[in-house]
Structure formats: structure tokens, C-alpha cells
Homo-oligomer: A and B are copies of this chain.
């Protein structure tokens, strides 16, 4: 068998304006290159401690169990469910887009009976919908997505929804993949029981890591399990042993990715959450204004539109996919098509992490304008 020969890595420099990944901050990219460390090196364990403190700030929580999982956001999603669910459990999945459905599918694979309530793409739940559903049956937990990457909608009222769950004896699993670092996520104030995110969206880091935080009710369920967690790889008790307690070996965490994430979280802490959110919002408004001037209308009402992810209606007569291809091939700009039934109707334009800069928006608006001209 002959060895294949390939050229030196020669990839284009993309401006990433899709629904994630966002562009990593240059300081994060530099941090990746620091000399690597063993997975039990005291210097790496110190970095874990710092990441925990930084994440507690960004999640606005005091939860002891706040870790970074060695996998992408989907690993965070699966970890939340596999640690909480035992076969036969009954759960409620609140679905207002693709990632809500993914939570339901993962729960079913783990042997749960899943009841679904759904809102059409682009809409969100009100508290009554969920309270009503929770009243029907005794659910162990409910799942909901804070910021739906498939539609760009922010599910409001998380505090009230969590209260409804608790009133009915259920706990709440919250997906904050596209919200964390971009809009307020207040785990303790909202009384959310478990939440996970991903490194590559508003945290300005490469993908590959999934922050997670576990509150007291979820912790109690985990500690009272009768069977071991189905997944050894995503077993949070073992994360706790590795990160906090006896520092026992569980897996070989990627020091390089942790160097990057620590730097990314440090940048957010330097700016402070308030200033960070203000920047996202201000940049989003520049984008919305620019799109509006080109007759490209937002799909999501202002009330629950995400600053970091805009779903924009494709103007009549414009081929959305030709425009996307042109943006990528001629301008090195990545945006995404719509999801599912919205595939030909909208674009998804992200301003995540280091992608959220005025220069990117100015370039994008010009390039979009040019790209829409030729039909």
C-alpha cells in the first residue's frame, strides 16, 4: 500500500457569518499553539479551575459541577440527557426548531418515553403552553432550547418556564449553545437545572469543547441513579472526579483546545458580560438596518430575535443558494441556508464571537448586494 501524498495545508481565509462556528479571536488562535500539557499536569488542572470560575461567571451560577466536556455541543446535549435519563423515564420535549427535536431523539435513544409539544419554525412558546403540557402527566424532566440555531429565535420566559417545571415536579434541561456569551444566561436566577453550550459560537473559540453546568436538583437525580450512566465517555460523575475531586484519569483532555477556550473566556470576562451583550446588539442592529435598506426582511420579530443569529427572508426572485455560493466562492463569506421547510425561504446570518465586528458586516452587506444583482 503506497503512502498518499498531499500538499501543504492551504485553506482559504473565510469570514464566518453562518450559524456557527464563529471566528475564533486571534488571541485564542495564538493560545492554541502553546506547548501542550499532559491531561493530569498540575498546570492543566489549574487551567480547568480557571475555566470553571470563568464559566460560572458567564453562566451566572454558583454550581460546583461546572465543567468543559471533551466534545462538541452535541456531546453536551447528550451528556445532559444520558446522565439524567434512565430507560422508562417520561420526559417532555418542547420543540421550536431542529435542536429541540434533536434533544427528543437523543432522549428516545436512551430509552425515555418522549412527549413532544411543538411550535412552528420561527415561533416560541409562551409559559401557558408549557405549563398546560406539564400538567397532563408526571414528567421527570423537560427540555427546551434557549436560542434555536435553526431559526434564530430566542425562547423568552426561561425563568417562568423553569418555575412551571418545578411546580409540576420536573426539572429543566436548557440548551444554551447559541445563547451563552451572546445574550444573558442566568442559570441561578432562572433556577435552571442543567445547561450546556459549545465553544465555537459566542465564546469565540474553535469547536470541540462543550461547557456544562449542573444544578442541585439535577445533581440529586444523578447521585440517586440505580444504574450507571449508559455513556462512560460522558459520565459527569467521572468528570467531577477528574476535574474537582481526586483528579483521577478519565480521558485525555485536549490541552490545546483548553488553552484556546480559557483565553476566549478570559476575553469575555475582561470586557464583562454587559459590554459584550451591548456589542452584539449594536452590531446586529447595523446588520438589520443594512439588510432593511436592501429590502431583505427579518424572519423573526424584534421581540425575540437573536442578535448573534439573524434569519433573513430571501427577496422574491432571488435564488438563495446561488447567492450563498457566490458569497463563499467570490468573497470567502460563509452564511447558511434556512433549515428544513425554510431552506429556500431564508438565509441564516450569524454574528457570533469574533465574527461580530463592524468590518465584517460592512463587507457582507456590500457582497450580498453585489451577489443578489446577478440572478
Contacts and interface: CB of A to CB of B under 8 A. Distances in A.
A220 interface: no
A230 B71 contact: no
Interface string A1-42: 111111001011110101011011000011111111111010
A255 B206 contact: yes
Given A3-B270, A102-B232, A228-B109, A11 B33 contact: no
A105 B238 CA distance: 14
Contact of A259 (B11, B24, B105, B207): B11
Interface in A81-101: 82
Count this chain's copies in the assembly: 2
Interface in A261-278: 262-263, 266, 268-270, 272-273
A200 interface: yes
Interface string A59-88: 010000000001111110110001000000
A interface, over-half SS: loop
For the side of the interface on A, what is the size category? 35 or more
A35 to B, nearest CB: 4
A229 B109 contact: yes
A16 B233 CA distance: 24
A346 interface: no
Interface string A294-317: 000000000000000000000000
B33 A29 contact: yes
Given A6-B50, A57-B3, A109-B229, A11 B251 contact: no
Contact of A72 (B54, B74, B252): B252
Interface string A245-267: 00000111111110110110010
A252 B207 contact: yes
Given A29-B33, A78-B231, A102-B232, 19 more contacts: A1-B56, A2-B57, A3-B57, A3-B270, A4-B50, A4-B57, A6-B53, A6-B269, A20-B252, A21-B38, A32-B33, A71-B71, A72-B254, A73-B251, A73-B252, A109-B231, A206-B255, A207-B252, A207-B253
